[in-house]
Structure formats: structure tokens, C-alpha cells
């Protein structure tokens, strides 16, 4: 990661953590509820979503103090999603430590996630005083849409896993990623950064295009890392997606490339619940992925999407004047596909 | 249940179900997400919360069309809570049918609950057009508080169960019930009914007192029914609270009444996870409850709370003129402690 990216993310993370500590109550419910909300946010995370929100707002000429609260809400939302997502996926590790439900049990983890979602409402209402009614409502609307798009994406993914659907094309994958990744990692942060700044619809549309291409290349690289990363740096279990039977562009490519016999066997293995899957079966799937060149294929798609993101950004110089914030977005596009964690 | 209660609840339920169907999208995500949101609301439920909200608003002279949307949001919230609560408590039955997570799996059930919570935001924002900014914001604030109070109550209860805490007094129980039952079943519905109607702070305070007494007697009767009801009418498994090791006023009274040896044995049995508990152990606990007269004790506390609720309502005649809506609230107070489901 470049020094600019590291520094920018670090500064945003520090600012956002102060906001989050301000939003999360410190009272007698701390030990059984509120302190647990700080667990994921305080683990060493990149803090991508708030940084993107802040950078977009400031690249457009907006002020930090106008966007910070909303950026912190995005990070709270993200961490609430992660808590529930980790339960839904049966994930074991998150950012190098056991997932929240493994540490405190599923009931407490569900409740902590719900309470975090509830906590986001008041800071978003505070935006009315800060930004005026119109902008505050549009931000609330973006957050509501983000939450629903993510839930629809999650529903789609769970449905594919549950029914072992593998008759899928790349367009299905794009649709899934648009909903489950793009909206809450890129689209909502960028749109909200733009709304805070009063950006007109045409610019919001461009930001959205940028966010979609960035999101797709980000998610594909995430899937690549899940298979190839160094466990220590990555913070999650390597190959977890295969154990979960997750629909990655990589695995979808492999499945499409297989003959009927191997494909049936692969579907059988993928359908086995994570806890009952066997090491040799997963290793065999991993071998097929290499044999069919699916990692190379997926990396190619990610690169093309990143190049399109880059082009949107280049064409936006008319309304995104040079600044460290624009540079951050620019370097983010490059980073997304070369990152190793 | 009196004809008035039955009719009033029935009418409100019909109206609220139309609103809920209007709020929940009907699109291609129906079969994997939105249709599942309608599952609990369409099971034969009393629809207490929206009816209380509507009755309070109308008893104060407010209009049905001003309160209906908010009442429907309360019912959506309630059902989202139930879905997550059933997972957290490992409940098997809800309103006479298997719980949602047993039918669709925990991952899908968590996601459906999250999406329902996200869906409540827009109708609450619509209140700005309908009721004006001030009232809409106060309703949003009441909903945010309700969600947090409930989560705190849930956290407290889970903590007590997890650490087998039984050194508790009735005051602890009142505190728990205030948070986990009163707020979202009585306080928020009544407050929102009052806010819609522009009730001044002093009246909201009286409504809140009414809601607390009503909530405590309601929850105690709920705990009594869990041990004594007819399974068909009740819709949940009988004695489920004992299997879960739940902190009811009844069991807390029994535990306080036991000698050291029996108490240690009771604590041991209660600490066993539900799935590993044995029938004889639970039956022994059930016997202790009868022997110590804890059901009679709890019924007495519920009756005294209901009488206090009744007194608040009687004293409120100055600002609650005679109407079918006030009669509904009045009969509800009587019903809460004699109900059999």
C-alpha cells in the first residue's frame, strides 16, 4: 500500500473511531452490550468505507466536519453487518481474531448487531441540524437503500448456497456483487460524500459508476485473496469460501469449465455443510481451480473493471480538481487489485 | 376476551396488514426475502402493539390515518424482534407453527429480520409529510429509543442466563421487564399514539406510567401462561421458559424460597443448555414452583400492577373522554391478567 493510502486511511480511521466512541454509550450496559460494539471496529481494519465517504466529500470541496458523523455511521453499519454476516456464514475468524459469535455466543452477537443498527438512527437525524433537512433526508434514504440492497444481496447468496445453484453466468455474479458489496462498501459511501456536498444528480451518477466498477474489482480480489493470501496478513481463514461453498467468480468459472462428471462431484462436495466437509474434498476443488485457470480469469475481470473505474475518475477531472482526496481515490483504484489483504 | 377487545383488535389487525403489505416490496426478491417477512405477521397474532398505538391516538382525539403507518411500523419491528429473539432463545414454536429459523435456517432468518428493520425507516420518514417535521422526528426518536431499550433488556437477560445469575430481587425483574417488554409493547406504542396527536409532556408521562404497569402485569401473565396454558391456544411450547432457564418472576421467587441444597441443584439444572436438559430435571423444577406457591405469588404481583394501571386510566378521564378507544384500553387492563393466551 502506498504511503498516501496508508496515511489517509490511518487519519480517517482515527477520526472515525473518536466519532464511534462518541456515538456508542458508555454506561452500565457497557460490559454486556456497548463494549462489544467496539470490538470489531477496534480490531485493525482498513476503515475503507468511511475513508471513501470522507475522500469523496472533500474531493468535491466539502468540509470534513460535515461528513464525519455520516462516515462513522457507515463504519458502524459495516461492523453490524459483519457480526451478522459472520454468524450467517459460520465464519471463524475476523481481522485476525475469533468472530464475535464464537467469543460471546450467537444470541449475544445477534443482539449486539441489532443494537448497533438502532444506534445509527440518531446521528443520522443529527444531520438535520448540521446539513439541513434536504441533505439529511437524502442521506437517510441512501442508508435505508443500502441496508435493503445488502439484505437482498445476502438473501440471493444464501439462496444460491442453500439450493446449490451453479447454473450461473458472470452477469449473475455482477448482480450479486452490485447488491452485497458495491452498495455498502462503495456506492453509499460515495453517494453520501456527494450528497453532503450538494453534488448534482449527474455527478452522483458518475460517482455511482465509479463505485460499481471499484466494488466489482474489489470483491473479485477479495475472493482471490481468500484462496491465495497469507493467513496472518489476511485475518480470515484461507480457503474459507470453498469450505462455505461461496459463489465466487473464480469458482463459478471453474464449475462452468468442468465436464459433467467432475461437475457433479464438485457440486456434491460444495453442498456438504461446512462442519462436515473433508480436507481432501476441498483440496480437490482447489486443484480444479488452478487447473482451469480460474484465478487468472478472475484477475483479468477484476483488472478490466478497475481500468473502467480509472477511466471514470480520469474523465471526472473537470469537477474533481487536484487534491490529496482525489489522489486517494485514484490510488485506491490501483490498490484494489494489487492488495494482499 | 370480550367482544369489544376481539373486534377492536381484529379491525386494527386488518388495517395494519394492509399497511404492512404496502410497505413490504413485491418483487423478484419476494420468494427469498420479502415473502418471509409476512410469515409471522400473517400468523394469527393479536396485533396488540399497533392496536394500542391506534387506540391511544384515537382516545386522545387523533385521526386513524395519521397513526396507521406508524402503528404498522411497530408491528414490523415487533415481528423482526421475534425472528431474532426466537433464534437467540432457541425457540421451536411461534404462534402455533415452527419458528422462522427452523423453517428456513438461522442465516436466512437473521437476514430477514435485518431487512425488516431496514424497511421501517422510509415509512417513518414519510411521517414528515403526513405529520410535519417535529412529530415525525419525535416518533423516530421514540422508535430509536425503543430499539435500544429492547436490546439492552435482551443483553441483560442473556447475561443472566449465560452466567446463571439468580441472586436477584423483584426490582431486578421490573428493570428487565421495563426494558425488554414495556418499551416495545406498551411504552413506544402509547407514546407514539400520543405524539401523533400532539399530547403535551404531562400526558405522555401519564401514558408512560400506564404502559409500565400494564407491561409488567402483561409479562408476568405471559410467564404464568408459559407454565400453565393450553398448548393449542398458546402457540408456543409449554414450559419452554424452564427449558431455556429464563428469568421469570415465578422462578425467581422459587429460587429465593429454596434451601441451599435444593437451590444449588436447581441452578445446576437451569445452567444445562436447552438441548441437553432432561425431562425429569425440568419436571422437578416445575414441582418446586408449585410447592413454593410461586405462581400464586406472581399472579398477585401482576394483579397489583394491573390495578395501578387501572387507577392511572381512571384518573385520566379528564383528558381521555369516553370513547370506544378508551374502553379498549380499559378492557385491555382487565384482560391482561385473565387472558389464557
Q: What is the ipTM of this complex?
A: 0.93
A154 → chain B, closest CA residue? B111
Alpha helix ranges (H) inside A199-323: 201-228, 231-234, 240-244, 249-257, 260-271, 279-291, 294-315
Listing DSSP states for B106-170 in one string gives HHHHHHHHHHHHHHTHHHHHHHHHHH-HHHHHHHHHHHHHHHHHHHHHHHHHHHHHHTT-----H
Strand partners, A93: A98
Q: Does B89 touch chain A (CB under 8 A)?
A: yes
Question: Going from the N-terminus, what domains does chain B have, and what CATH number goes with each?
Answer: 3-338 (1.10.600.10)
Q: What is the pLDDT of residue A231?
A: 73
Q: What is the pLDDT of residue B42?
A: 85
Strand partners, B97: B94
For testing the chain A interface, which of B80, B114, B172 should be mutated: the one with the most A CBs within 10 Å? B114
Q: Does B271 touch chain A (CB under 8 A)?
A: no
For testing the chain B interface, which of A103, A152, A176 should be mutated: the one with the most B CBs within 10 Å? A152
What percent of chain A stands above pLDDT 70?
Answer: 100
Listing DSSP states for B266-278 in one string gives HHHHHHS-GGG--
A27 → chain B, closest CA residue? B152
- Is B118 in Cβ contact with A147 (below 8 Å)? yes
Residue A107: list chain B partners with CB under 8 A.
Answer: 87-89, 158
Q: What is the pLDDT of residue B79?
A: 96
Residue A158: list chain B partners with CB under 8 A.
Answer: 32, 105, 107-108, 111
Residue B84: list chain A partners with CB under 8 A.
Answer: 110-111, 114
Chain centroid to CA B339: 14
Q: Does B201 touch chain A (CB under 8 A)?
A: no
- Is B147 in Cβ contact with A105 (below 8 Å)? no
Q: What is the pLDDT of residue B43?
A: 87
Chain B nearest-CA distance from A29, in A, is 7
List the single residue in A32, A140, A156 with the smallest CB-CB distance to B32: A156
The string of pLDDT tens digits covering residues A187-207 is 999 999 999 999 999 999 999
pLDDT confidence band for A335 (50 / 70 / 90): very high
Q: Which grid coordinates are listed for A326? A: 482525489
User: How many angstroms separate the CA atoms of B275 and B243, rounded?
Assistant: 8
Q: What is the pLDDT of residue A35?
A: 96
- Is B111 in Cβ contact with A155 (below 8 Å)? yes
Q: Mean pLDDT over residues A115-131, rounded?
A: 96
Q: Are B184 and B81 in contact (CB under 8 A)?
A: yes
Between vectors from CA B287 to CA B286 and to CA B292, what angle results, nearest 5°?
105
Q: What is the pLDDT of residue A319?
A: 94
Q: Which residue did the predictor score with more confidence, A295 or A338?
A: A295
Count CA within 13 A, CB hemisphere, residue A216.
26
- Is B151 in Cβ contact with A115 (below 8 Å)? yes
Residue whose C-alpha is closest to residue A218's, from A326, A314, A309: A309
User: How many angstroms separate the CA atoms of A88 and A153, rounded?
Assistant: 13
User: How many angstroms separate the CA atoms of A135 and A125, rounded?
Assistant: 11
Q: A260 CB contacts (<8 Å, ≥6 apart)?
A: none
Q: Mean pLDDT over residues A207-211, rounded?
A: 97
Q: Does A82 touch chain B (CB under 8 A)?
A: no
Strand partners, B94: B97
Residue B137: list chain A partners with CB under 8 A.
Answer: 125, 128
Does the pLDDT at position A224 exceed 80?
yes
Question: What is the DSSP pairing of strand A93-94 with strand B97-98?
Answer: unpaired
Q: What is the pLDDT of residue B153?
A: 97
Q: Are B26 and B79 in contact (CB under 8 A)?
A: no
Listing DSSP states for A44-96 in one string gives S---HHHHHHHHHHHHTT--HHHHHHHHHHHHHHHHHHHHHHHHHHT--EETT
Task: State the CB neighbour count (10 A cutoff) for residue A214.
Answer: 29
List the single residue in A32, A87, A156 with the smallest CB-CB distance to B110: A87
The string of pLDDT tens digits covering residues A129-184 is 999 999 999 999 999 999 999 999 999 999 998 899 999 999 999 999 999 999 99
Mean pLDDT (10-residue bins), chain B, 341 residues: 95 96 95 95 89 98 98 97 93 92 96 96 95 97 96 96 92 97 97 97 97 97 91 76 93 97 97 92 96 97 96 94 97 87 73
Q: Does A262 touch chain B (CB under 8 A)?
A: no
Q: A113 CB contacts (<8 Å, ≥6 apart)?
A: A80, A81, A83, A84, B114
Q: Does B275 touch chain A (CB under 8 A)?
A: no
Q: At what angle do helices A188-196 and A201-228 cross, to 10 degrees?
A: 150
- Is A118 in Cβ contact with B162 (below 8 Å)? no
Residue A115: list chain B partners with CB under 8 A.
Answer: 147-148, 151-152, 155
Chain B nearest-CA distance from A311, in A, is 33
Chain B nearest-CA distance from A88, in A, is 4
User: How many angstroms separate the CA atoms of B186 and B36, rounded?
Assistant: 26
Q: A251 CB contacts (<8 Å, ≥6 apart)?
A: A241, A242, A270, A285, A289, A294
Residue A152: list chain B partners with CB under 8 A.
Answer: 29, 33, 115
Q: Does B29 touch chain A (CB under 8 A)?
A: yes
Q: Is B59 exposed, middle or buried (0-12, 13-18, 19+ CB in 10 A)?
A: buried
B136 → chain A, closest CA residue? A125
Q: How many residues in total does chain A contain?
A: 341
Q: What is the pLDDT of residue B183?
A: 97
For testing the chain A interface, which of B73, B81, B110, B147 should be mutated: the one with the most A CBs within 10 Å? B110
Residue B156: list chain A partners with CB under 8 A.
Answer: 29, 32
- Is B106 in Cβ contact with A106 (below 8 Å)? yes
A:208-237 residues touching chain B, CB 8 A cutoff: none
Q: Does A338 touch chain B (CB under 8 A)?
A: no
pLDDT confidence band for A90 (50 / 70 / 90): confident
Q: Does A165 touch chain B (CB under 8 A)?
A: no
User: How many angstroms separate the CA atoms of B9 and A59, rounded?
Assistant: 55
Residue A153: list chain B partners with CB under 8 A.
Answer: none
Q: What is the pLDDT of residue B18?
A: 96
The string of pLDDT tens digits covering residues A297-310 is 999 999 999 999 99
Residue B118: list chain A partners with CB under 8 A.
Answer: 117, 144, 147-148, 151
The string of pLDDT tens digits covering residues B83-108 is 999 999 888 899 989 999 999 999 99
Residue A155: list chain B partners with CB under 8 A.
Answer: 29, 32-33, 108, 111-112, 115
Q: What is the pLDDT of residue A338?
A: 82
- pTM of model > 0.90: yes
Amino acid at each position: 500500500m502506498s504511503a498516501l493510502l496508508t496515511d489517509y486511511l490511518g487519519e480517517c480511521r482515527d477520526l472515525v473511531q473518536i466519532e464511534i466512541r462518541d456515538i456508542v454509550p458508555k454506561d452500565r450496559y457497557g460490559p454486556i452490550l456497548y463494549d462489544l460494539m467496539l470490538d470489531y471496529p477496534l480490531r485493525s481494519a482498513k476503515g475503507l468505507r468511511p475513508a471513501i465517504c470522507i475522500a469523496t466529500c472533500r474531493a468535491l470541496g466539502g468540509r470534513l466536519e460535515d461528513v464525519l458523523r455520516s462516515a462513522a455511521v457507515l463504519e458502524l453499519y459495516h461492523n453490524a453487518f459483519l457480526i451478522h454476516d459472520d454468524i450467517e456464514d459460520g465464519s471463524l475468524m475476523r481481522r485476525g481474531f475469533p468472530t464475535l459469535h464464537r467469543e460471546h455466543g450467537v444470541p449475544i452477537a445477534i443482539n449486539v448487531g441489532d443494537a448497533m443498527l438502532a444506534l445509527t438512527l440518531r446521528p443520522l437525524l443529527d444531520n438535520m441540524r448540521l446539513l439541513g433537512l434536504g441533505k439529511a433526508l437524502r442521506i437517510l434514504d441512501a442508508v435505508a437503500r443500502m441496508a435493503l440492497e445488502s439484505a437482498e444481496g445476502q438473501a440471493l447468496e444464501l439462496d444460491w448456497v442453500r439450493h446449490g445453484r451453479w447454473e450461473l453466468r458472470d452477469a449473475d455474479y455482477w448482480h450479486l456483487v452490485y447488491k452485497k458489496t458495491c452498495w455498502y462498501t462503495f456506492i453509499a459511501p460515495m453517494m453520501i460524500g456527494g450528497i453532503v456536498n450538494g453534488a448534482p444528480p449527474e455527478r452522483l451518477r458518475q460517482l455511482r459508476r465509479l463505485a460499481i466498477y471499484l466494488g466489482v474489482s474489489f470483491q473479485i480480489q477479495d475472493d482471490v485473496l481468500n484462496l491465495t493470501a497469507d493467513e496472518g496478513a489476511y485475518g480470515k481463514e484461507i480457503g474459507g469460501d470453498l469450505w462455505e461453498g461461496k459463489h465466487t467468480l473464480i469458482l463459478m468459472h471453474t464449475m462452468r469449465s468442468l465436464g459433467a462428471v467432475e461437475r457433479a462431484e464438485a457440486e456434491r462436495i460444495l453442498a456438504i455443510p461446512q462442519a462436515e466437509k473433508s480436507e481432501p474434498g476441498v483440496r480437490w476443488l482447489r486443484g480444479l481451480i488452478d487447473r482451469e485457470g480460474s484465478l487468472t480469469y478472475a484477475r483479468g475481470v477484476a483488472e478490466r473493471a478497475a481500468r473502467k473505474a480509472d477511466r471514470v475518475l480520469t474523465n471526472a477531472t473537470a469537477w474533481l480538481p487536484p487534491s490529496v482526496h482525489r489522489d486517494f481515490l485514484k490510488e485506491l483504484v490501483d490498490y484494489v487489485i494489487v492488495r494482499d489483504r
